Structure 1
Amino acid sequence: MTKRRKRLLTGDGVPSPREEKATAPPRREKKKKTDIGKVFINISIGLCIFSLIWFFYALYMRSALARRVVTLHPSPRVLNVSSSSPAVSPEKFWGSHRPHVYFGMKTRSPRSVVTGLMWMRQFADVDGNLRHTCEQGDRLQGYGWLMHDGVSFGVQEIHDRDFTLTTEFVKRLGGDHGGDWTWRITAKQHSSAVTAPVISLMCYAATDVQGSLQAHVEEKNHLSSVTGTSEELGNFKITFGKPTAGEGAAGKYAKYNYLTTRSPGLDKLTDIAKNSLSHKFIFSPPKGEKRSYFALDSHKVATHHNQQQDPKIESDFVVHQVTVQTPFQMEVLFESGSFRDRPNQLTGSVLTDELERRKVAFDEKFEGTFGLQAKKFTSSQIKFAKAALSNMLGGMGYFYGQSVVQSVYNEHPLLYPESPLFTAVPSRSFFPRGFLWDEGFHQLLLSKWDAPLSLEVIAHWLDLINIEGWIPREQILDDEARSKVPSEFIVQHNENANPPTLFLVLQKLLEQLETDPDRLSSHLPVLRRLYPRLKTWFEWFNTTQAGPVANSYRWRGRDKDTNLFLNPKTLTSGLDDYPRASHPSSEERHVDLYCWMALASGIMANVARILGEPHKVYKNTHLTLSNNELLNELHWSESLRVFSDYGNHTQAVSLQQEKVHVPPGQPRHQFPVTRLVRSVRRAPKLQYVNALGYVSLFPFLLHILTPDSPKLEHILRDIQDPERIWTPYGLRSLSRTDPLYMKRNTEHDAPYWRGPIWININYLAVRALHHYGNIEGPYQEKASAIYQELRTNLIQNVYKQYLETGYIWEQYSDSTGRGQGSHPFTGWSALTVLIMAEKY
């Protein structure tokens, strides 16, 4: 190689042109540049591919997250899908599971055949005063169940203007489809009535999408019976007895009419009946003048436009109308086609004997459960207590359908999976549907009457839980339910909680079961199926409702438009307009939610321990939240001497008329209507909220305070102070000294939890006083004395208002004790029965 190199050198030692041409450095440099370019191209392609993958992954994840809100919990259902069927639960298959109507029955099945009663007073001042769904606008003098065992029979009185209807039903088991039942409807005029009223009763049956009905008509428009068939009922027959003056008495003069048509939905039944009324019919009794009366006229019923297109979306609707002068009595008999060995028909004296037997059994069970006779209550007071319990039992409903829900990942609301719900309701007239936080209070009473029934209801609610651990707090499952709800409240949002009051019932059920090993072992399978759902529910609260500092909690879902509200509402807390921090922020800490979580963690630890599951995490959480030092650190205001929320707050707020500038010479009507808007006179700052009321009492109400806590002395002092919480009728919801006491929240939003007396919180207060009055401590004697007085005041006022008005009420005035709000409200206001019985 050395020699060759020498030959290629020129004489001056410079490489020859040939050699220069042969050298490769320039080519090597070009190749290097080319490699760097390829690297950049490859990186760009890789980034594009990665971006596309990330984009599609993000789309997938968003879609997956969006679907989570409507994805049910993966654990096995607590209740089998057939748990409500006649094969599994024949005794509860038929029932008065239509709380929104004055009188009606249906089965516990998704598409039940429904039956019901409408009525109207003929020749009245107001024409066409048809009664069907429970409406406060009907201004009845009172209505409700006097006796109802929750399963097999019920007795109800409905007091209209000048007559009373008594509706009774009895069920008889037999066959494969829930057996038979009979109604007896008795009408009696009031002593104050000038003339005997003439009444039209309209008894009907309607299918809900599936099934068919066939009317059987005798001469003179008399519908004698209806036969039908459906998947859940097989073949059946409904027979309409003729009206009599009473059992064994001769028939009365009556006029008959009927209607057979199709309905686009069960929520349209009232409208169809009203629209079919005609005044062309003549009522001509043997003695008395001939008069035109309103009656069903099939010629007035319009054919629905979609009947021709898709008859499957409509249902059969058959109505029997009988018009007769009071007093009278009539019976309606349902007979199942599969009940082939019935001994006799459940009518006449057979029905009377069966009713009497059920009434005696009800009275005996009531006294054995609540012991009110032994406590020396009067017969009238005991009758009131029986009515309160019976209205809650008779107000239980079976619903099937889909909630409308939404999460932050959904652009539009979605339909939740179809589900059943067997639940009590707060009010048959105003809230005839399921409410999550109400139901815990309902079951405190019903669990004393029928513990397995309560477990079934709890299971129904927890079977609604989604994969996240969220339960929609208001259950609006079908068209009938939606027809009663303003549109802005229909969509349920998955960040919103509701107080987990079902833990209150579980606490009591566990106490009952642990004292009875046989019952505990029989209920262990249900508890095991409940446990994974309870676990997910608790964790959902513990994460989604966590507060800004460790071991604090904050309700989500507060009203965001702070300009329109004197104090933005917190519907999710169950206490609606109770004063919270004036300016909602993520810095808030809510003392009531803290206490709910302290309670829930303790019960979770107990359930896990009983089932042999790991329970130390729950136990440690409970010990942490029950630590009074931590509670004081997070929520005790030393300057206010009360337990308080904490947040961005100022009390210098008021509602003022909005100023709208109208230029001179311009007509005022062309400009916006002035509103009441919030005026903030002093900027908010992070501080304890200066409100004294129900929220301040929660560490006491849920027994979080130790019996020797000095804070208990302050609470007992505030409870007793008439200028603060005490009234002769119960504990008011907000102190009279509070700046927002009885203040409107908007010009159209009257005070709700800002002074009135609520029975559910008063029940918790009486229970807490009983608890601290029976535990050794420095405040035991004082708590016991307050307990006796508060218990007496509550019982006397709720009972007095029932006698005077015919109703148990949603809330009671703190100044007069008068019932107010929706009525009848035999949801948590019926807890008065437990206060009477001292069953805590």
Structure 2
Amino acid sequence: MRDRRPLLAGNAANQKTALANTLKKDTRRRVDEESSQVGTIKATLSCILFFLVLLGLPMGIIYYFTPFFVVENLGCRVVDKLWGDDTVRALEAGYRRHKASPPRFPSLEYNKTMLWGTYEPGLLFAMKTRTPKPVYVGIAWYDVAGLHPVRHRLVDVLSLERRQGSNGGAISDEKADKFEAAWALHDGVHYGRLFVQDGPAKMQIEFLKSPSGDSWHVRTHGHMDGAEPVEFVVYVVNGGGALELEPTSADGSWDAKIKSEFEDAEGRREGFSLHIHDDHNPVFAATPWKVDGWASTEDEFLRDVNFRSPLLSAQPHKMGPSGVGPHNVMVFRKRYASDFRVELSMRHAMHLGADGQDEAEHRLFKAAYEALTTCQLTNVFRTREKEALSQMRKMFTPWRTGSHLNLKLYINRARRLLSGALGAWGFWHGRYLYVDPSVTALLDAQGKATKVQSDEQLRVALSDVSAFGAVTSRVGSAYGDMTMTGYHLLFLIHWNREWTKEAIASWLVGAQDASSGFIPHLATFTAASRAFAPPSARYQHLSFAAPPTILLAIPQLLRSCEGAASEKKFFELILPSLRRWRSWFHKTQSSEESAMSLEALVAAEAEKVSVNKTPPGYRWRSRDNYRIPSSGMPDYPRHACPGQHGLGAHVDLFSWVALLSSIISDIELYLGLPETVPKRLWLGWLDAVHWDARHQRYADRAGCSADSFSPYVGYANLYPLLLGILDNKERALKVIELAKAELMTQYGMMSVSYASVRAARHAGLRHDNRWMG
């Protein structure tokens, strides 16, 4: 039998060798795997390092040179798109509720919503309260070098820039050679954006009010673009209380916080707080605010303040022992040489109760809206702007029918027009000056205008009045004008019905003298508004009338009346004032031949009494030879015989008084009341006094026995038709034919016909060709 032990020994050796080989292979594989992992990590790190060098360096350079606010806005936009924000959504829901069910005028809720606004159009930008003693929170700046006027009052900025400009073209109230300030968007209540081009620098000022009006934010974003350093100013003026400033800290990161209170129109004291925040790049240190304070009335401040050279009474603000400073004026300054952003946040300490819109109860205001973060405010600004633009587009697009204008261009121009109109409204409270009635009577008897010789001829109104209205210019006449307000309302009634109702009631009720019925047509109620007004606008004549254009929107309000209780309340509010105003017109503007009162005329017509009842005729006061400036048509020649101008009668004024009385009748019928002066009477009186049968037209009565009707043709002859007084179709067609034959040109309608201009010049009456096509 063969010995197998050598074979077994060989197998054992072979097994050991195989095992050793296997162990070597496993070890080599582990080493290779570890080497591969190390190589992968190195490769990954190499790739990361490569991309950091290739992309990171340029991105770092871009980030370094990109303004901090651009990066911040992009981040806010990304967050809003990806995740949204519950606070922003809640705010937008509040704005939607306000739009669907706006507070009605008159109501306490409406007054609270409209309490704060841009109600001082003569200033570059300021938030102001509509209270007897207003609070102003405004913005201004000036160049450190002192080469340009302080950017505060537009009358200072644009008038100086006009004189320094070298171009010979016309310059608007918004723009000069090196300066422009225009409302890019303004919805009248909650949101607005003002664009200012100041040389190479650009300033964008946005404001946002909460849906209820209890809080607001203002953000100023300055793009310096290489401009010289500016001193940025935030000022606070409280006409009815002291300002309390929190103690300052040592570092420059201190944000000013102010507490104060004011008295609203109902006589309640209400507290508020204001926070001034410098939203600077956190990488760089901020310079501290410089604070000055002094005591001054709001009139003195608006009229005299020069931020470059403060008053001698101004001093660095010091805290008293109780922590309350004795100042009602505070000015905060900070110098900027590069782009900056400053935010102001205001909140009330109290606000309306939740038990109803007319609930007089006040309760503590819970901090929510005023605590918006920078990103939340940015996103709400953007959303409000989109919503306002969308609403304007919906309003303007139907009006484009028949026009060949590009839609985008048309919408942009209409947006600028509406925003500029809303930004040109203000609120004024105080007492007007008027000329002694004996002096006014002497001027009317002479038939020639003369200037007031001294302040001794002026008197002060016995009671305070207020008005909410439009200005004719933010530069040259930044005070309310009732005539301009009426024209604005024909446009704004399509945008904000409650705004329109309040403006009408403001003049008819808030500005009217309850005893005489007189309404001042210019709201120069304060010393500050008179300081920058031309001399003729600083006082009133108690017997001089102006075109009552404030009436034009009332018929449209009646036609579109929804029958709500607030609508009835509005018409009940203005009806007594309208009646007093009609009596004032009849008493002060009647021709000398019209001796009977309206009540006597109505009674005679009702009883069919055949007495000597001359139909009423009306003539404008303020005659200046052959012109009547207060009529609104100073270029229309008003013929009169020497010494007999008191016997004249003007067809345009008759039409205005007839419109006023017709509106009163419509309101009386709407409220279920009898007509005090029936509308039908005015049609007969119009034909009896002003129908020129020879020339088949309505015309002025000159008051001369030999030449009863005025020979001149112009706008005045069209007023019975323009104001809707006529109901005789045949005579209405005569008026239209007169306009086509005498006044129409390829450029529009002339104010005075060519034949009338020639006749006036032959008679020695000068004509300036104002609206001659």
8 A Cα contact 1:144 1:158, kept in partner = yes
573-582 or 217-226: which moved more? 217-226
Q: CA deviation at 1:613?
A: 1.0
> Aligned residue for 2:260?
229
Task: Confirm whether residue 201 of structure 1 aligns to residue 232 of structure 2.
Answer: yes
Of 622, 632, 638, which aligns to 1:558? 622
Given the superposition, is the C-alpha separation of residues 373 and 536 from structure 1 closer, same or farther in structure 2, using an over 3 Å criterion? Answer: closer
For residue 263 of structure 1, what is the aligned residue in structure 2?
296
CA distance in 1 between partners of 2:181 and 2:370 (Å): 32
Instruction: Tell me whether 1:383 sits opposite 2:412 in the alignment.
Output: yes
Q: CA deviation at 1:702?
A: 1.9
Equivalent position of 2:434 in the other structure: 405
Partner of residue 604, structure 1? 664
Counterpart of 1:294 in structure 2 is: none
- 1:634-783 counterparts in 2 under 5 A? 634-636=690-692, 638=694, 643-647=698-702, 686-705=707-726, 708-709=729-730, 712=733, 715-716=736-737, 718-719=739-740, 724-726=743-745, 728=747, 730-739=748-757, 754-757=768-771
Aligned partner (choices 210, 222, 227) of residue 172 of structure 1: 210
Counterpart of 1:592?
652
CA contact (8 A) 2:150 2:307 kept: no
Q: Which residue of 1 aligns with 2:137?
A: 115
Shift of the 612–84 alpha-carbon distance from structure 1 to 2, 3 Å rule, reads closer
SS of equivalent residue, structure 2 residue 204? strand
Length-normalised TM-score, structure 1 = 0.62
- Could you say if the C-alpha distance between residues 555 and 715 of structure 1 is closer, same or farther in structure 2, counting changes exceeding 3 Å? same
Asked if 2 retains the 8 angstrom alpha-carbon contact of 1:228 and 1:236, the reply is yes
2:219 counterpart residue number: 184
Q: Distance in 1 between matches of 2:465 and 2:107?
A: 15
1:61 aligned residue: none
Give yes or no for the alignment of 1:238 onto 2:274.
Answer: yes
Aligned-CA RMSD value: 3.7
Q: CA deviation at 1:301?
A: 5.1
Instruction: Give the whole-Å Cα distance in 1 for the aligned partners of 2:754 and 2:292.
Output: 57
2:679 is the counterpart of 1:619: yes
User: What secondary structure does 1:231 align onto?
Assistant: strand
| Structure 2 counterpart of 1:512 | 560
Instruction: Name structure 1 gaps, 5 residues minimum.
Output: 1-82, 278-297, 304-313, 650-683, 758-813, 816-840
Q: Which moved more, 1:490-499 or 1:135-144?
A: 135-144
The alpha carbon displacement at 1:379 in A equals 1.6
| Map of 2:394 onto structure 1 | 368
| Bigger proportion of residues as helix | 2
Letter in 1 for 2:477: F
Partner of 1:670: none
Q: Which residue of 2 is the match for residue 359 of structure 1?
A: 385
Q: Aligned partners of 2:227, 2:285: CA distance in 1, in Å?
A: 14
User: In structure 1, what is the Cα distance between the partners aligned to 2:339 and 2:111?
Assistant: 38
Q: State whether residues 107 and 114 of structure 1, in contact with CA within 8 Å, keep that contact through their aligned partners in structure 2.
A: yes
- How do 1:376-525 residues align onto structure 2 when only pairs under 5 Å count? 377-406=406-435, 408=437, 413-463=459-509, 464-465=511-512, 466-513=514-561, 516-517=562-563, 519=564, 521-525=565-569
8 A Cα contact 2:240 2:262, kept in partner = no
Matched with 1:766 is: none
Deviation at 1:264, TM superposition (A): 4.3
Note the C-alpha offset of 1:169: 0.4
Q: Percent identity?
A: 22
Whether the 8 Å contact between 2:252 and 2:287 is mirrored in structure 1 is no
Q: 2:414 corresponds to which letter in structure 1?
A: A
Tell me by how many angstroms 1:388 deviates: 1.6
Greater Cα offset, 529-538 or 341-350 = 341-350
Distance 2:390 2:670 in 1: 34
Shift of 1:446: 1.9
Tell me if structure 1 keeps the 8 A contact 2:471–2:480: yes
Does the Cα contact within 8 Å between 1:203 and 1:319 map onto a contact in 2?
yes
In structure 1, how many angstroms separate the alpha carbons of the residues matched to 2:659 and 2:485? 17
The runs of 5 or more residues in structure 2 that have no matched partner are: 1-104, 163-174, 264-268, 316-325, 351-364, 440-456, 595-613
1:276 aligned to 2:309? yes
Q: Deviations over 1:98-122 (max 9, x none)?
A: 1111100111211122111112234
Larger RCO (alpha carbons 8 Å, 6+ apart): 1
What is the aligned counterpart of 1:154 among 175, 180, 192? 192
Q: Aligned to 1:97, what secondary structure does the other structure show?
A: coil
Distance, in Å, in 2 between the alignment partners of 1:222 and 1:244 is 9
Return the offset for 1:531.
1.5
Whether the aligned pair in 2 keeps the contact of 1:207 and 1:213 (CA below 8 Å) is no
Distance 1:270 1:403, change over 3 A: closer
Residues 731 and 398 (structure 1), Cα distance of their counterparts in 2 relative to 1, 3 Å cut: same
| 1:341 pairs with 2:341 | no
Distance 1:616 1:269, change over 3 A: closer
Q: Could you say which residue in structure 1 is the equivalent of 2:628?
A: 570
**Deviation per residue, 1:699-720 (Å, 9 max, x gap):** 3322345574367456446446
Secondary structure of the 1:492 match is coil
Q: Shift of the alpha carbon at 1:590?
A: 0.4
In the alignment of these two chains, the number of paired residues is 578
Amino acid at match of 2:305: I
Max Rg structure: 2
Q: Is the aligned partner of 1:325 residue 2:343?
A: no
- Conserved 8 A contact 1:143-1:159: yes
**1:7-52, CA deviations, whole angstroms, 9 ceiling, x for partnerless residues?**
xxxxxxxxxxxxxxxxxxxxxxxxxxxxxxxxxxxxxxxxxxxxxx
Q: Could you tell me which amino acid in structure 1 is paired with residue 659 of structure 2?
A: L
